[in-house]
Amino acid sequence: MVAISTAYVNCNRTGRIGEELYGADDDVQKTVQNIMSKSVKELEDNLSAYIGIFPNTYTFTKNLSEKNLMANRGHVKTVIWRPSIITSSFN
């Protein structure tokens, strides 16, 4: 299986950034349940507390989705492709 992500999924890191899944031991389901239990206002008011070292919700959720994919892939060989630009095509 090939999953398309983004090169910016690890933009919270400095120095040499390898093609790996950082913090793979994080409990994604617990993180998602915690966020889903909050009101929109509480999330907006405390956004930095929830996304931590990520600069925005886009990179935070891409990181969570990669971790979730790898944790639940079973025995399926999986590659995460991280292009630097994702856009639509005209044709």
In angstroms, rounded to a whole number, what is the distance separating the alpha carbons of residues 52 and 12? 10
pLDDT over 90 percentage in the chain: 49
The pLDDT tens digits for 38-73 are 999 999 999 999 898 889 998 899 999 999 999 999
Percent of the chain with pLDDT over 70: 97
Q: Do 21 and 9 contact (CB within 8 A), yes or no?
A: no
Domain borders along the chain are: 2-14+24-81
